[in-house]
Structure formats: structure tokens, C-alpha cells
A and B are shown apart, each in its own frame.
Chain A
Amino acid sequence: MSFNYDQYIRGGKLPHIWCPGCTYGIVFKSLLRAVDFLKIQKDDIALVSGIGCASRLPGYVDWNTLHTTHGRALPFATGLKLSCPDKKVMVISGDGDATAIGGNHFIHACRRNIDITTIVLNNFIYGMTGGQHSPTTPVGHLASTMPYGNVDPNFNIPDLAKGAGASWVGRGTAYHVPALDKLIIEAIQHKGMSVLEIINACPTTYGRRNKFKSATDQLLWMKDNSLPITAFDKLPPEKTAGKFPTGVLFKKEAPEYCDTYYAMVERVRKPKEGRA
């Protein structure tokens, strides 16, 4: 039986703004399937975003949705989550949104290990503003503000998340869709800050400038250049050069921020023992 997307898509809000060939639609459907699999009620989930093409996704989903300011989705989400710790709060962000203008919020949300599922759609470029380089644009590649090839070094988003303290870190691609469904499910199930980077294609502002003939070419690039982490880890460095690992890259048990905060609240509100 085919999946009924209509139950989650807001009536009358399509067509979406994404270009033909943009892979954000693939991620969108995967997200809906994952949340459906977990049977999270529409009223119990909030999806928060910043600004950018990726950040337009919440507008199409029939949940509690919040489209904030550029880079600031995580602070807004933190306010929501700390106010309603029992609810599911998710963030969707672009590579620029999450790691350039929002980089400070990103590392601090990771450090707190607050229970927010954070999905970063990395298309290696600022899509919405027309293809300026982002902190993930590969060095040497062309961007509208790197006309001679990018000289700006990169962030590795999973490494950044792990280093900053996120307790679950993963990476998927828009090509490996069944695996992506599973990754989103696991990211949501994890209690604590989970960061899932999803490699995406922006044919319009990145692919076109960087010798990809089509969006399909970009998807095939994902296929040819990624390796499941299990395989990646077994290979010698010369075999993995230029390739990126996918899957659950890191996880650990760590106290979650709201749990710790409200445990403190409970402790200080208890009447002191031995006093009348």
C-alpha cells in the first residue's frame, strides 16, 4: 500500500517553492514517513526552522510549525522545548543557516544536549540567495561569491556536532532513501541533541556551476562518494580519500538538558528535611 502523504501535507499549500531537481522534496517525504512510523501525533510535534530553501519545509507540514529568523531556529526551539519538555521538538536547517549565521547556537544546543532533533540539509551552498559559498562549499568549487574557486575551509558538520557535545550524530543522503528513513527515525527516538546531516543537491545554484550536468548527476555523486560507516571504518585511508561516511556516526548516553533542569527544580522545591 502506498504511503498517504496527504494526511500530513497542509491542504492548499502546494506547490512548494523548491526548484525542479531540488532534493529537498525527497527529504520531506522521508521525514513524513519517519514521523508516521513513530506514531507521533500531529499536535505533539513542532518543527522549527530558520531561513533558506530548507527552512521553508515546515510550512507544508500539518504540525505546529515555526519559521523563524536566519540561523536562529535552535534558540526558538530551545524556548519551546524547555516550556514543553514532553513534546517532540525538531529543527530543520540549511548548512548556512545551521553552521554559519547559526553556528554559535548550533554548538551551544549540542553542548546542552537538549532533546531537539536537528536535521541539517547540506547542499554545500546558500541556495535561497542564489549560490554564495557556505561553510561547507568544497574548497576550489565555484560559488557566486567565489568566482575563482572557493578558498574558504570547511566545517564537517557531524564532527562539529560531536565535538560540541551532541549525543547522537548521523549522516544520510537524498540518494539513500530507505537508509534515510531509518536514520530520521533513530534521530527522533534518541533522547538528547541529535544532529542528522543530510547531503542534498541544489542543481540550480551549485550543481550548474560545478560541472554537474543534472540533478541526477548530483544524486549519483552521492552514491559513488559515500560509504556506510561500517565499511568506511574498515578501509585504509587511501581507499576512503574523497569519500564520506554515512549512517549513525556517533552516539553516547548523556544527561538531557530539560531533565537536568527540571530535576533541579524538583530538588529546590522540596521542603528541607528536618525543618517544620
Chain B
Amino acid sequence: MGTLKLLQGNEACAEGALYAGCTFFAGYPITPSTEVAEYLSRRLPLIGGAFIQMEDEIAAMGAVIGASLAGKKSLTATSGPGFSLKQENMGFGMLCEVPCVIVDVMRGGPSTGVPTGPSQSDIMQCKWGTHGDHPVICLTPGYVQEIFSETVRAFNLSERYRTPVIVAFDEIIGHMREKIEIPDKGVLEVENRKRPTCSPAEYKPFDETKGDVPPVADFFSGYRQHITGLNHHSDGFPVNAHPRIHTDEQRLIRKVEGNRKDIIRYETFMLEDAEVAIFAYGVSGRSGKNAVEQARAAGIKAGLFRPLTIWPFPEDEVAALASRVRAIVVPELSLGQIIFEVERCAKGKCRVEGIYRVDGDPITPEQIFDKIKEVK
């Protein structure tokens, strides 16, 4: 039996990071994510870890990458405007294959938007926020317990695939308090990056012959290396206009897309015989579950598909769903973003209907239930 605690989503995120072995946090205060930083500013010093409040989010992202290159499991947490600022350095982390975790507690936008209101409108930025083609893993927990466990999983995936991983949830579950169980050490798997076993002279930081995820050496560990945000050869040095760029970027994408089975997780609820499916994550997934219960009580065969991994997108699962339900309802706290992915995968095989809301309140179960009745 682990430890039972009453925690806010943001605090559970910090606990998840600690459980996963995070020893470095850099951030910049921003509502509604600040509690992640506050919690870790108390806890990290107690375990000898490092906490630093940087001058802005760009700097925080840079520091996180620097610390990870030194071998530390590193985290940053932010919201809306801060997430926008982090994008360039996140791209650096993706190209240079630096494991780290970025938490985005979504609030309304664009610009300063609604700092204290929930949102799910960063979800496309999670995928496409930084320039260039790049791999993205993004997890979308919906409950405080899940924020804990998905943060642990985010660290594991970042170490396993040597890439930044985003955990995105909304202000409501970030600030909601729920009872959670923090498992004892060893109950949840905790993974560490593969480090080189060859001699330093043989080591190449991006050696594709070692597989799609080449081992990563820590700075100062005797494996001297060059890391650059320019496209690079397997030895880390810049490459210009060369077929290597094409194949290497394909490898980066393949690391993630080729491991969908391992990365994609979702919950289904009463979906087996459903004629109407709800596709919803985060707080909207919670409303979705309640709406399904209401529909079932009214004799309507509704079910829920709740992705815990939004990127890579569960394409096959949504395609399969589309071929057996009459309609998919997509409630999201935006004016319509993730619905484009659902439509893309449904390929016209079923009706796809959105429910959008950006006024600072969540989408209610009743709103979703009404839509179910409309499309059934």
C-alpha cells in the first residue's frame, strides 16, 4: 500500500516527477501551472536536487536541456504564453534528442487570454508549436491520480525514446484536489536512458547504426561530444544539404511513430456496443463519461474513448471506431482543434460532431448528452 494524499493536480504532477527520479526543475511562474514549481522548490532541495526560477520560460527550457545533458532527469512546467516561449528550445531538444519533460497546464488564449480559466486550445501547439518536422509525444491525463502516473510515464518515455515529452492538462484538473495513492518505490516502473557501453573514442551521440534510439552520454562523463541544433552527422557535427538530413529526420519521427503501440494509451468506457462515441480527453473526458452514463440510463448506446496519449494520435483506434459507430462527438475546450484529427482518421465513415467552448467554463455532461441525443 502506498501513501494516500489529497493533492491538487499540479502537486500530483510534481510528485510524479519526483517518483520518476526528477532532480532538476527550471521554470518561470505562470498561472495555472505555478504550483508545480512551488511544490518542487520545497521538495527538490530536500533530496539534494536543483530548483531554479529562471528569468523567463525560454531560459527555463534552456536550463532544463543543459541539466539533462548533464544526466539529470529534468522538468519544466508552464502555461499558455510560457508554452509559446518555450517552443524554440523544445525544438532543440527534439533535434538533439534530449530527454526531458514539459508540463503545459492549459489556460485560455491566445495572448494573456484567460489566465485562470481552463482550456484545451494548446493541443495543436503541442504537436506543431516548434518549427520544422519533429517527433512529439504528448500525454493528456484527466484525473489527479492520472496526472501522477502519466508524469511518471512521461519521464519513462522521454528516457526510452530520448526525446522531450509534453504532459498537457487543463486548469481545472491542475487545480482540482482529489485523493490519490502514491505507490511505494518500485511499484511503478522507472526507466533510465540507455548510456553508451563503447569506449569514448568510438562513441557517436547520434549513431543510427545503434538503432533508432542511440545511447546518450552525459556531459563530463568522459564521452566528449559536440551537440548542436544544426542538423548533424552521427558524430554530432553539422551537416549541410545532404541526404543524411532526410534520413535522420525520418529516424526521429520513426522513433515515435514507429512505437505507437508502446506509446499510445487510452481508456474506453462502454464502447463495445456503442452507436455514438465520445472522443474526449482531460476535463472534457470526465464530462464525457458522465454523459455516457446519462445516455445509457436513457437507453442510448453511447461510449467514451478517452486518449491518455494525444500525440502520436491514436489513428488506428479512431479509424476502427469510425467504421463501427454512427457518430463521434468531440467535446473540447477550444473552437475546434483535435476534431480535425478525428475527422482525418474517420475518413467520412461516420458523422463527427464537435462541441466547443472557450468561455472559461467546462463543457458540461448535459451539453454532451444533448449532442448525443441529437446524433444518435
Chain A contacts to B: CB under 8 angstroms: 10, 13, 42-44, 46, 48, 51, 58-59, 62-69, 72, 74-84, 87, 104-105, 108, 261, 264-265, 268-269
B224 in contact (CB, < 8 A) = yes
| Dominant secondary structure at the B interface | mixed
In the assembled complex, the Cα of A265 lies from the Cα of B43 at a distance in Å of: 10
The answer to whether A46 and B219 have CB atoms under 8 Å apart is: yes
A sample of 30 inter-chain contacts (CB < 8 A) reads: A10-B226, A43-B220, A43-B222, A51-B229, A62-B224, A64-B225, A66-B227, A66-B228, A69-B229, A74-B59, A75-B26, A75-B62, A75-B63, A75-B66, A76-B62, A76-B65, A77-B66, A79-B67, A80-B66, A80-B67, A80-B69, A82-B52, A82-B63, A83-B71, A84-B219, A104-B59, A105-B59, A108-B59, A265-B48, A269-B45
B50 in contact (CB, < 8 A) = yes
**A-B complex: 9 closest residue pairs judged by Cβ atoms:** A79-B66, A75-B62, A79-B63, A83-B70, A75-B59, A67-B228, A79-B67, A76-B66, A108-B55
Which residues on B sit within 8 Å (CB–CB) of A78?
26, 52, 54, 59, 62-63, 66
Which residues on A sit within 8 Å (CB–CB) of B67?
79-80, 82-83
In addition to A79-B74, A261-B50, A265-B45, 10 A-B residue pairs with Cβ atoms within 8 Å of each other are: A46-B220, A66-B69, A66-B228, A67-B226, A68-B62, A74-B62, A78-B52, A78-B63, A84-B220, A104-B55
Pick the contact of A64: B54, B56, B63, B224 (CB < 8 A): B224
Question: Distance (Å) between the CB of A103 and the closest chain B CB?
Answer: 10
Q: How many residues of chain B have a CB within 8 Å of chain A? A: 42
Question: A68-B92, A268-B45 are contacts. A75–B227 as well, Cβ < 8 Å?
Answer: no
- The number of inter-chain residue pairs (CB within 8 angstroms) is 131
B154 in contact (CB, < 8 A) = no
Which residues on B sit within 8 Å (CB–CB) of A265?
45, 48
Which residues on A sit within 8 Å (CB–CB) of B121?
none
B320 in contact (CB, < 8 A) = no
The answer to whether B219 and A67 have CB atoms under 8 Å apart is: no
B151 in contact (CB, < 8 A) = no
